[in-house]
Structure 1
Amino acid sequence: MNKDSIKEELTSKDNIVFSDYVIYFCCDKTLKESLEQFKKLVLRLLEAGLDIKCLNGSIGSLFLFIRCCSTRLHTAALSSRDWLYGVRNGLPDLHDDRKISSSQRLKFIYDIISFPVSEGGAGVCPDLDEWKMVKHIFPLHDPVFSRDYIYKIFKKGFISESDLDDIRDHFGEKIAIYFSFIRFYILWLIFPVVMGFFTHFFLPKYSILYAITINLWCILFVQKWRKTEVRLSIRWGVYGISKTYQKRRQFAGDKIGIHVITGKNVPVSLLWKKIFKNSFFILFQVVLVTSAILILIGFFFLDLYFSEIYDGFFQKYLVFIPTILLAGFISVFSALYNKISTCINYYENYETDIDFESAFIHKIFMMSFIICYTALFMISCFYVPFGYHIIPKINIVNIQSLFLNSESIKVKPFIVNPDKLRKQFIYYMITGQIINFFKQWILPFVFKFFFVILERIYSTKISKFNHKNINSFSEENEFLSKVRREAELPEFSLLNNYLELVMQFGYISLFSIVWPLGCICIFINNMIKIILDFIKLFFATKRPIPCCIDTIGLWHSKLMFLSWLGSIVMSILIYFHKYFSSDKFLVEVLMLLVFVDCLYRIAFDICKKITRFTWYEKLHILKEEYALRDAYLEKLMGSISANCQNSPQVQRNYTEVIEIGTTVIMNSFEKYKKA
């Protein structure tokens, strides 16, 4: 490929850069380190067989536009792990680029950028200390596709399977699986909506029929979704992709060991160090979780005191204090806990992406479970059955006398409010959803508007200094403004979206018997959510890097856990509100818990033994299959990759990009000095 042909691929007729990926490079405080890392970055990318164009970003930053030629793309397709591990039935089609979807192309190219040099990649990853000046690697949105797709969805009013195929072709299987799940969830919510409406108006409170029906619905929902995702993964050709166990780019082994299947020397972690880290951080998280539970219980009793016991001055205003304090505590503590959990997850140094993501899901699910359901559990399992016996025995007056004059204390007789659980659940279903919408959509745009104003003020201050602009085309300046906007956008968070849906499922399986119309609120919320998620995906977040998956992962086990727990909680709620007997309570509840726990332990032990036996039986076969495929792959890649990496164009392109980048970096440092 000559120099002119590369420029034709990188630049359209209107001088607008066309690229597969954009690398956002921000200079460090020192000129020497910035130039060294920039040159190293460009050399790595060119040696990996990628074409680059460098343009000026904002002050102190550069945009590297990455383009991959057809030959190098085919090499990456051949080395893809899904074919190597036998997920796909045959080799990728190397003769027609049109048969490679946009998401597949982007996935292969990202593998080239991020894979280690030893595997034919550039080894560039923003999370590594080696590349601390590489802030983001992202593909650009296609405005034509975004506009046409949103128009098509809104015009039809529903999402078909062909629409999901379009999402998969454009964004990859990971995004498509998420929208498939929320679409499936909304369709399946129709039944509990109808059942909840019927129960609310025609059946008695805490209906046994409703509890049985919803429990069966939860079990069927989880099992049916498992079959649906298998069918989708087969349709998209990624069934079994999870077994590839992609190694994390950030994984740092303690020593070099031999892989049990491949027989290759690979970095591995020491077992004792892994156990020590996990044990230490489990203990640390137990302390955090216990603290959160105790604080939430404290807020519960504070709310109980002001709303049902205290009868003094400003009672009608003081009743809002616990709610305000609780909202502030949850926001601050959740943000702090997520940051701590993220740091812990990185420090635990998981070997594969699946292990890393699963560990983080465990952490955030546990805390979200406590925050969402603690108040409801306290009301249903403490306040309703035992509040009348325990709360009057607490000497409120003596406790208050520590802070106030005992003569001015006014309290009213405590009476259990049987409607408290329903009101609390309605608050979560209506007010809580509105607050969540405000936090997810209104606040971010308010903050963004505020920071845009500050940025314009700063840009106006800087603009009085003359600066040579290497981007001479007005079309490029307009295009770069678009790239800057996309670089500043947040990433599309599947983790938080799944967490919200799973917590909703928990409300249905655990507490919907309290107020069956809550299913309608969840249905309406998800109808709005799927629309807003589409808007967020196309216009309010960076375009996600495609990722091949065939399942929602650990969220499936969380759904199973909530469906199992729901059968117990609904039974306890019915028992407390209809058949409660303080004499037999402890024995009956313990018998129920022991019986269910024994069933689950037996099932777990059987599955564990079967899995262990199957693994050792197939180990020899896996070794032979890998050796055969790996030998053929090395032979095939050896004849192709040399043509890309040893091309004389690499050196010419390297010199051109380095000259442009060096000019931009040096001018940026001059600007900083003048400013």
Structure 2
Amino acid sequence: MSENDGDEGVVFEIAIVLPKWGEIKGGDASDDITDCVEVLVAELRKKGLIVERVLGLQNEFVKLAAPMEILGKAAAELQIRKRTYIGMEFPFQWDEAEAFVRLPDGSLFSWCERFLCYKHLINGIVNNEKSVVLKFDSKEVDWKPGELLIRKLESIGIVKEVFPLNDEKKRKQLLRSWAMNWSDFTSQPIDDICSYYGIKIATYFAFLGMYTKWMFFPALLGLTVHLIDFGSFQLLVLPIFFICLISWAVLFFQFWKRKNSALSARLQIYCSVGVESEYKSLQTEQKTWDSPTELMKKQNTDRLKEKAFFQKEEWFGWLMRLRNDSFIILSIICLQLPFELAYAHLYEVLGSDLSKFFLTAVYLIAIQYFTRIGGKISVKLIKYEKNENLEYRANSLVYKVFGLYFMQSYIGIFYHALLHRNIKTLRQVLIQRLVIYEVIENLLENSIPYISYSFKKFRTVRNKRKREHESSRDKPHPIPRVEKDYLKHSYAASIGKEIEDGLFDDFLELVLQFGMIMMFACAFPLAFAFVVVSNLTEIRTDALKLLAMMRRPIPRSDATIGAWQNIFQFLIVMSICTNSALLVCLYDQEGNWSLSPGLAGILIMEHVLLFIKFGFSRLVPEEPAWVRAARMKEATEAEKMCCKQLLRSISGDEKIPRETKKND
């Protein structure tokens, strides 16, 4: 049994962080704050939760666990849809729990579903009686009727944070089978990852593993092109390499769609649907004694109202997104584009390596400032958009912020490649970005959370010693495991923390890497070999980062890579254009851009590759046959059940008017 477990094997999954007595605004230890904490603990226990209070060195923690019955009733209140043994999904009902499919480990609810239930139970504590006086730090605050207790305590500084706890038994098991398993570099326990972290993170690692496996082919091809001299056929090598590369990229993403579809079908028992629905219907009351003719008239009127409502919402939301996207695009063109071009020009003009170093240092600091401003503006703009749920808002943020990163990552390289046509400088920049940047980024990505955690831990122990006037010879008090989890970094995005989690930065790193190697493949074919080595280590370092250096993330139920899929497709189209221009630079040594037979062939090849890009997408089905058959079977069964239910309800509605007429 781990330290995170209770006396009877209960796993505590949520923690509430509270300040210790006497540490609110420098107040002395007193019983005033006890009232607040005791009220909170009492209300949590009334909800049926198992509560354990842990006194840490710097904070107090309230750990929460829930019996299966309490989670089941909360899931029924939330109307969480779960898969049944007949293959269909229905809103969960605790009385009919045996009809719903259990997970492979025997549990009834996934981590995502349990988190929703915990959130519902904690946020559901409302004052339904008279006003209660909450005391803290010699001050009094009224907990008025209808107010949420957690929100009230957060507003007055009693509740610092609510965060998920690690299950030490499962975490150590994943460390052995995933992060420390080097027997197969690309092998990953996707089902266990999904069970512990949720389907969104499992989808990311499934994509990263497949992407790394498929990368072996272009890496081998690039090594062949770089190392072997083909003699008189050397002029044909790069075009053939480029055609093979585009075909590989198109086929990879088509087969990824197939795998993602199969993965979603296999892992859908881990998914859950929350209380918020994407469908917004107009509520209309219908009397049971209306005649069928009147019901039909009302339904037609309601359809017209719903149509007008949806059209208004659709066009208004589209206009808001168009306005925000236009604002971001114009800002990039007017502000960031001149800055990026000025840096690229100065880098080309300066002759001293020391001057280039200082210029690059100033540039890196400046682009961080630009990116932060752009991210904050994007987050504010998204709040005014009509996005249906959190995933839609996250996708909108991804598109906007990627535009900023795309400009700062590639515009200087375009400048070297197309304007100055300096292939040597272009290769130097690519090597710096791919080798040096990747190494530094991975080191910082994994070392900063560890250093930050170690510093917080050291400061916590030191402050404890100062407060209690302990001698350095005394043995320090051990830090509880829950406090260790609290001191770790949260898995949050560098931009838009309230919308995106750490997957934003992980996907962004992959996208920028993919764009770098694809858009300038003809200038540096060896880059694919560097990427293979980098991604093989990325799988394990990302796993180690999640398991050892970060808090347990809040689960997300989206089963796709979202907006990143469209960004990858955009980069493939861009790579066709940029590599065609690079081939022109390589073969047109005179620089007159004349349409000689060779250059005309390159233009023809560009159009052929665009045809391959959009043609191959139709050759490989995006959905496996077994997934399509299972989906059609479920739809047919659902239609049969709905038809039976509708016929029964219609028959019952028609009996009421007849009986009413007889009585009249």
**Common topology (TM > 0.5):** yes
Offset, 1:160: 7.5
Partner of 1:612: none
1:460–1:560 CA distance, 2 compared to 1 (3 A):
same
- State yes or no: 1:145 paired with 2:170: yes
Partner of 1:21: 14
Note if 1:231 corresponds to 2:256: no
Q: CA deviation at 1:501?
A: 1.2
Q: 2:325 aligns with which of 243, 260, 282?
A: 282
Q: Hey, what does 2:251 align to over in structure 1?
A: 220
Whichever residue aligns with residue 268 of structure 2, its letter is: G
What letter corresponds to residue 172 of structure 1 in structure 2?
G
Partner of 1:665: none
Per the alignment, do residues 364 and 197 of structure 1 end up closer, same or farther by CA in structure 2, a change over 3 Å counting? same
Matched, 1:295 2:300: no
Partner residue of 2:499? none
Does the C-alpha gap of structure 1 residues 316 and 88 become closer, same or farther in structure 2, counting only changes over 3 Å? Answer: same
Matched with 2:292 is: none
Question: What is the aligned counterpart of 2:97 among 84, 94, 105?
Answer: 94
TM-score, scaled to structure 1? 0.67
- Match for residue 318 of structure 1 among 335, 338, 355: 355
Write the mapping of 1:109-124 to structure 2, written as runs, cut at 5 A. 109-115=114-120
User: Is the 2:54–2:61 contact (alpha carbons within 8 Å) kept by the matching residues of 1?
Assistant: yes
How far the C-alpha of 1:21 sits from its partner, in A, is: 1.6
Q: 1:554 aligns with which of 558, 563, 569?
A: 563
C-alpha change, 1:273 and 1:431, in structure 2 (3 Å) is same
The 1:271/1:148 distance shift into structure 2, 3 A limit, reads closer
Q: 1:511 aligns with which of 508, 520, 524?
A: 520
- Aligned to 2:208, the other structure's residue is in SS state helix
Higher helix share: 1
Instruction: Give the residue type in structure 2 aligned to 1:74.
Output: G
Q: Which amino acid aligns with 2:252?
A: F
CA displacement, residues 71-118 of structure 1 (integer Å, 9 cap, x when unaligned): 122334555534389996256783598866679343233212334999
Normalised TM-score (structure 2):
0.68
Higher mean C-alpha displacement, 40-49 vs 19-28: 40-49
Deviations 1:596-641 (A, max 9, x none): 999999999xxxxxxxxxxxxx9xx99x969979x99xxxxxxxxx
Contact 1:76 1:109 survives alignment (8 Å): no
Which of residues 399, 402, 427 in structure 2 aligns to 1:365? Answer: 402
After TM superposition, list the pairs within 5 Å mapping 1:626-665 onto structure 2.
none
Q: Over residues 197-225 of structure 1, what are the superposed CA-to-partner deviations in whole Å (9 max), with x where a residue is unaligned? A: 01112254771011101000110111010
Q: Which residue is 2:432 aligned to?
A: 427
Name the CA distance, whole Å, in 2 between partners of 1:345 and 1:570: 35
Greater CA deviation, 86-95 or 453-462? 86-95
Alignment of 1:348-359 (within 5 A): 348=385, 350-359=387-396
Given residue 226 of structure 1, which amino acid in structure 2 is its aligned partner? K
The 10-residue stretch of structure 1 (340-349 or 571-580) with the greater mean CA deviation from structure 2: 340-349
Residue 201 of structure 2 corresponds to residue 175 of structure 1: yes
Letter in 2 for 1:227: R
Shift of 1:320: 2.1
Match of 2:6 among 6, 11, 16: 11
Structure 2 Cα separation of the partners of residues 147 and 124 of structure 1: 40
Q: What is the rounded CA distance, in whole Å, between the counterparts of 2:190 and 2:332 in structure 1?
A: 39
Code of the aligned partner of 1:293: L
Contact 1:82 1:88 in 2 (8 A): no
Unpaired runs of at least 5, structure 1: 1-8, 308-314, 385-416, 466-473, 605-617, 633-675
Q: CA RMSD in A?
A: 5.1
Conservation of the 8 A alpha-carbon contact between 1:112 and 1:121: no
Distance in 2 (CA, whole Å) between partners of 1:90 and 1:186 is: 35
Q: Which letter does structure 1 place at the counterpart of 2:417?
A: S
Letter in 2 for 1:20: E
How far 1:457 sits from its partner (Å)?
3.6
Maintained 8 Å contact 2:580/2:602: no
- Equivalenced residues, count: 547
Structure ranking higher on relative contact order (CA contacts 8 Å, 6+ apart): 1
Please state if 1:63 is matched with 2:94.
no
Conserved? CA contact 2:10–2:65, under 8 Å: no
Q: Which amino acid aligns with 2:583?
A: I
Query: Which of 519, 522, 526 is residue 531 of structure 2 equivalent to?
Result: 522
Q: In structure 2, what is the equivalent of residue 653 of structure 1?
A: none
2:97 alignment partner, SS class: coil
Structure 2 residue ranges without an equivalent (≥5):
128-145, 285-301, 492-501, 618-634, 650-664
**Hey, what does 2:215 align to over in structure 1?**
189
**CA distance in 2 between partners of 1:437 and 1:126 (Å):** 42
Percent identity of paired positions between Structure 1 and Structure 2: 20
> Quick one: structure 1 residues 256 and 109, their matched pair in 2 at CA, closer, same or farther if it must change by over 3 Å?
same
State the 1:304 CA deviation: 1.5
